[in-house]
């Protein structure tokens, strides 16, 4: 299976990077699962030669605009084209998503019939023969969570937006592909220390990688406001051996 990085920027997109979202493509069971929904999903899926009307499973890790604003447009685009949609989220975010869909009247007939699953209501909120996905609480905002994907004994963790937390750390082992919040460099956080309450900086992530030794570290959710900021992030992480910096539309293959 593969994970496609549809976006890799934080709340402020750049010329090259849209806000963070991920697409899980598992061909054997024909599974397509979207993790967070900013930007134009229709355009992105078309670029990947994927049918946007078949996208019917969406995980929303929290309700911040950069993770949710594309949802109304996606559902609007599926008018009469998709019958059923499942949204996996926390109860806190589900309440907000329902309000959002109501505001645009996207719950009326001809739009996909949307059902909501509380990710904390069961051990695996999604499960098929090869893929199991569970949620864990992270440290970001009310109702926010990260996800743990188990695929054929491989362990993939997506922290979503989060400050450093033991909840993520205790799940990591040497077989883990760790996709982690790396909003900015250590230098940037020191200038704006409030960021420490919500996000992770590159040197914290380096230390986390040293402590837990994941198979591959994949930093994501970059806030690139200053010239040279991406270079500073890479510099902070240069001692980590197994690191992959995704660009928009990069793929991570899990075999
Ligand atoms: Zn974000
Ligand atoms: Zn956020």
What would the pLDDT profile of 77-135 be if each residue is shown by its tens digit? 999 999 999 999 999 999 999 999 999 999 999 999 999 999 999 999 999 999 999 99
Percent of the chain with pLDDT over 90: 96
Spatial separation of the C-alpha atoms in residues 251 and 235, rounded to whole Å = 23
Q: What is the mean pLDDT of residues 133-153?
A: 96
Distance from residue 161's CA to the centre of ligand 2 (Å): 5
- Enter the tokens of residue 42: 């229709």
Residue 83, pLDDT score? 92
Distance from residue 141's CA to the centre of ligand 2 (Å): 7
Spatial separation of the C-alpha atoms in residues 138 and 142, rounded to whole Å = 10
Fill in the DSSP letter of residue 116: E
Residue 38, pLDDT score? 97
CATH number at residue 64: 3.60.15.10
Residue 125 contacts residue 90 (beta carbons within 8 Å): no
With bands split at pLDDT 50, 70 and 90, how would you rate the model's confidence at 19? very high
Spatial separation of the C-alpha atoms in residues 65 and 80, rounded to whole Å = 26
Whole-model pTM: value is 0.96
List the domain range (segments joined by +) for residue 62.
2-253
What mean pLDDT, rounded, does the chain reach?
A: 96
Distance from residue 93's CA to the centre of ligand 2 (Å): 12
Spatial separation of the C-alpha atoms in residues 166 and 89, rounded to whole Å = 21
Residue 67 contacts residue 38 (beta carbons within 8 Å): yes
With bands split at pLDDT 50, 70 and 90, how would you rate the model's confidence at 153? confident
Cβ-in-10-Å burial (0-12, 13-18, 19+) of 210 comes to exposed
Spatial separation of the C-alpha atoms in residues 245 and 202, rounded to whole Å = 12
Structural domains counted in the chain: 1
- Enter the tokens of residue 71: 């949802």
Q: What is the mean pLDDT of residues 47-52?
A: 95
Distance from residue 90's CA to the centre of ligand 1 (Å): 16
Strands of 176-181's sheet, edge to edge? 126-127, 131-137, 145-151, 154-158, 176-181, 216-220
Distance from residue 82's CA to the centre of ligand 1 (Å): 28
């Amino acid at each position: 299976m593969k994970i496609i990085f549809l976006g890799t920027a934080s709340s402020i997109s750049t010329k090259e990077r849209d806000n963070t979202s991920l697409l899980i493509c598992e061909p054997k069971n024909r599974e397509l699962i979207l993790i967070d929904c900013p930007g134009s999903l229709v355009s992105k899926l078309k670029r990947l030669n994927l049918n946007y009307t078949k996208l019917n499973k969406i995980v929303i890790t929290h309700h911040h605009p950069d993770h949710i604003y594309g949802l109304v447009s996606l559902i609007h685009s599926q008018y009469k084209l998709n019958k059923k949609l499942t949204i996996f989220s926390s109860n806190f975010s589900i309440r907000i998503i329902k309000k959002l869909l109501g505001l645009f009247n996207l719950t009326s007939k001809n739009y996909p019939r949307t059902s909501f699953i509380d990710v904390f209501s069961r051990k695996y909120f999604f499960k098929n023969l090869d893929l199991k996905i569970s949620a864990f609480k992270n440290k970001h905002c009310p109702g926010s969570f990260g996800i743990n994907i188990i695929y054929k004994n491989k362990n993939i963790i997506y922290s979503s937006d989060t400050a450093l937390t033991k909840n993520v750390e205790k799940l990591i082992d040497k077989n883990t592909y760790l996709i982690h919040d790396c909003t900015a460099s250590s230098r940037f956080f020191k200038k704006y220390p409030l960021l420490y309450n919500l996000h992770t900086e590159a040197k914290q992530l380096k230390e986390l990688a040293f402590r837990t030794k994941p198979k591959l570290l994949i930093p994501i959710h970059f806030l690139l406001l200053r010239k040279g900021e991406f270079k500073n992030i890479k510099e902070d992480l240069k001692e980590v051996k197994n690191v992959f910096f995704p660009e928009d539309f990069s793929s991570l293959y899990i075999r």
